[in-house]
Amino acid sequence: MTTHEKLQFIAGERRHGSSDTELTIIDPSTGEPITTGLAAATGDVDAAVAAARAAFPGWSRTTPAERSDIMLRWAEVLRSRSTELTALESRNGGKAIKLADGFDIPGVIDNVTFFATTARNLEGKASGEYSGDHTSSIRREPIGVVGSISPWNYPLQMAAWKILPAVAAGNTIVLKPSELTPLTSLLFAETAKEAGVPDGVVNILTGAGRIAGQALIEHPDVDMVSFTGSTPVGKQVAAAAAGSVKRVHLELGGKAPFVVFDDADIEAAARGAVAGSLINAGQDCTAATRAYVQRPLYENFVRRVAELMDEVKVGPADDTDTDMGSLISLKQRDQVAAMVDRARDSGAKVVRGGRIPKHTPTAGAYYEPTLIVDATQDSEIVQQEIFGPVLVVLPFDTDDEAITLANDTPYGLAASAWTQNVYRAQRATREIQAGCVWVNDHIPIISEMPHGGYKASGFGKDMSTYSFDEYTNVKHVMSDITGEAHKGWHDLIFGRH
Ligand code: NDP
Per-residue pLDDT of the chain (497 residues; tens, 9 = 90+): 679 999 999 999 999 999 999 999 999 999 999 999 999 999 999 999 999 999 999 999 999 999 999 999 999 999 999 999 999 999 999 999 999 999 999 999 999 999 999 999 888 778 999 999 999 999 999 999 999 999 999 999 999 999 999 999 999 999 999 999 999 999 999 999 999 999 999 999 999 999 999 999 999 999 999 999 999 999 999 999 998 899 999 999 999 999 999 999 999 999 999 999 999 999 999 999 999 999 999 999 999 999 999 999 999 999 999 999 999 999 999 999 999 999 999 999 999 999 999 988 889 999 999 999 999 999 999 999 999 999 999 999 999 999 999 999 999 999 999 999 999 999 999 999 999 999 999 999 999 999 999 999 999 999 999 999 999 999 999 999 999 999 999 999 997 65
- Distance in Å, CA 354 to ligand 1 centroid: 25
Predicted structure pTM score? 0.96
Q: Note whether residue 445 is domain-resident.
A: no
Same domain, 293 and 384: yes
Q: Nearest residue CA, atom 19 of ligand 1? A: 214
Instruction: Indicate if ligand 1 lies below 6 Å from the C-beta of 230.
Output: yes
Instruction: Indicate if ligand 1 lies below 6 Å from the C-beta of 21.
Output: no
Q: Nearest residue CA, atom 33 of ligand 1? A: 253
Q: Note whether residue 418 is domain-resident.
A: yes
CA distances to 18, 41, 412 from 22, in Å = 10, 11, 38
| CA-based nearest residue to 263, from 115, 66, 402, 131 | 402
Closest ligand 1 atom, CA of 229? 30
Domain count within the chain:
2
Q: Note whether residue 488 is domain-resident.
A: no
Burial pattern 372-401, b for ≥16 Cβ within 10 A else e, equals: bbbbeeebebbbbbbbbbbbbbbbbeebee
Same domain, 227 and 265: no
Instruction: Indicate if ligand 1 lies below 6 Å from the C-beta of 387.
Output: yes
Range of the domain at 146: 8-252+457-477
Same domain, 380 and 262: yes
Separation CA 410–CA 495 (nearest Å): 57
Phi-psi region of 375 (alpha: psi -120 to 50; beta: other; left: phi over 0): beta
Instruction: Indicate if ligand 1 lies below 6 Å from the C-beta of 417.
Output: no
CA distances to 78, 88, 98, 184 from 83, in Å = 9, 9, 12, 12
Q: Note whether residue 495 is domain-resident.
A: no
Instruction: Indicate if ligand 1 lies below 6 Å from the C-beta of 209.
Output: yes
Burial zone of 29 (CB within 10 Å; 0-12 exposed, 13-18 middle, 19+ buried):
buried
Inter-axis angle of helices 183-195 and 82-93, to 10 degrees?
160
* Cα Rg of the chain (Å, integer): 25
Same domain, 168 and 216: yes
Q: Residue 382's pLDDT is what?
A: 98
Closest ligand 1 atom, CA of 457? 41
Q: Residue 486's pLDDT is what?
A: 92
DSSP labels, 16-54: --SSS-EEEEEETTTTEEEEEEEPP-HHHHHHHHHHHHH
Instruction: Indicate if ligand 1 lies below 6 Å from the C-beta of 205.
Output: no
Instruction: Indicate if ligand 1 lies below 6 Å from the C-beta of 388.
Output: no
- Name the strand (E) or helix (H) holding 337: helix 330-345
Separation CA 375–CA 186 (nearest Å): 42
- Distance in Å, CA 252 to ligand 1 centroid: 8
Same domain, 292 and 391: yes
Same domain, 43 and 135: yes
The CATH number of the domain holding residue 233 is 3.40.605.10
Instruction: Indicate if ligand 1 lies below 6 Å from the C-beta of 208.
Output: yes
Q: Nearest residue CA, atom 36 of ligand 1? A: 229
For residue 168, the one-letter residue type is A
Q: What is the CB neighbour count within 10 angstroms for residue 84?
A: 13
Separation CA 92–CA 200 (nearest Å): 26
Q: Residue 125's pLDDT is what?
A: 79
Instruction: Indicate if ligand 1 lies below 6 Å from the C-beta of 281.
Output: no
Separation CA 170–CA 62 (nearest Å): 8
Same domain, 116 and 222: yes
Separation CA 149–CA 135 (nearest Å): 40
Indicate the pairing of strand 247-251 with strand 224-228. parallel
User: Sign of the C-alpha dihedral, residues 166, 172, 178, 181?
Assistant: positive
Separation CA 261–CA 160 (nearest Å): 36
Q: Note whether residue 446 is domain-resident.
A: no
Give the 3-state secondary structure of residue 361. coil
Burial zone of 286 (CB within 10 Å; 0-12 exposed, 13-18 middle, 19+ buried):
buried
Separation CA 281–CA 353 (nearest Å): 13
Instruction: Indicate if ligand 1 lies below 6 Å from the C-beta of 179.
Output: yes
- Distance in Å, CA 475 to ligand 1 centroid: 32
Strands (E) across 342-389 are located at 349-352, 370-373
Same domain, 172 and 289: no
Burial zone of 262 (CB within 10 Å; 0-12 exposed, 13-18 middle, 19+ buried):
middle
Instruction: Indicate if ligand 1 lies below 6 Å from the C-beta of 353.
Output: no
Q: Nearest residue CA, atom 25 of ligand 1? A: 151
Same domain, 378 and 394: yes
User: Cα 305 from chain centroid?
Assistant: 27
- Name the strand (E) or helix (H) holding 145: strand 145-149
Burial zone of 67 (CB within 10 Å; 0-12 exposed, 13-18 middle, 19+ buried):
buried
Let me know if 123 is a catalytic residue: no
For residue 94, the one-letter residue type is G
Phi-psi region of 232 (alpha: psi -120 to 50; beta: other; left: phi over 0): alpha
| CA-based nearest residue to 79, from 122, 116, 119, 52 | 116
Inter-axis angle of helices 82-93 and 64-80, to 10 degrees?
70
Q: Nearest residue CA, atom 15 of ligand 1? A: 209
Q: Note whether residue 493 is domain-resident.
A: no
Q: Nearest residue CA, atom 46 of ligand 1? A: 178
| Residue 144 CB partners (closer than 8 Å, separation 6+) | 53, 56, 171, 172, 223, 224
| Catalytic-labelled residue, pool 89, 179, 218, 251 | 251
What's the residue count for the chain? Answer: 497
Separation CA 24–CA 169 (nearest Å): 35
Q: Residue 497's pLDDT is what?
A: 53
CA distances to 55, 75, 110, 132 from 192, in Å = 14, 9, 15, 47
Closest ligand 1 atom, CA of 176? 9
Q: Nearest residue CA, atom 4 of ligand 1? A: 229
| CA-based nearest residue to 316, from 290, 267, 281, 270 | 281
Q: What is the CB neighbour count within 10 angstroms for residue 407?
A: 17
Q: Note whether residue 451 is domain-resident.
A: no
Q: Note whether residue 448 is domain-resident.
A: no
Q: Nearest residue CA, atom 42 of ligand 1? A: 285
Same domain, 114 and 155: yes
Closest ligand 1 atom, CA of 151? 25
Same domain, 332 and 466: no
The CATH number of the domain holding residue 360 is 3.40.309.10
Closest ligand 1 atom, CA of 208? 48
Q: Which of 233, 251, 385, 459 to mutate to test the pocket of ligand 1 (most atoms within 8 A of CB)?
A: 233
Same domain, 224 and 301: no
Instruction: Indicate if ligand 1 lies below 6 Å from the C-beta of 8.
Output: no
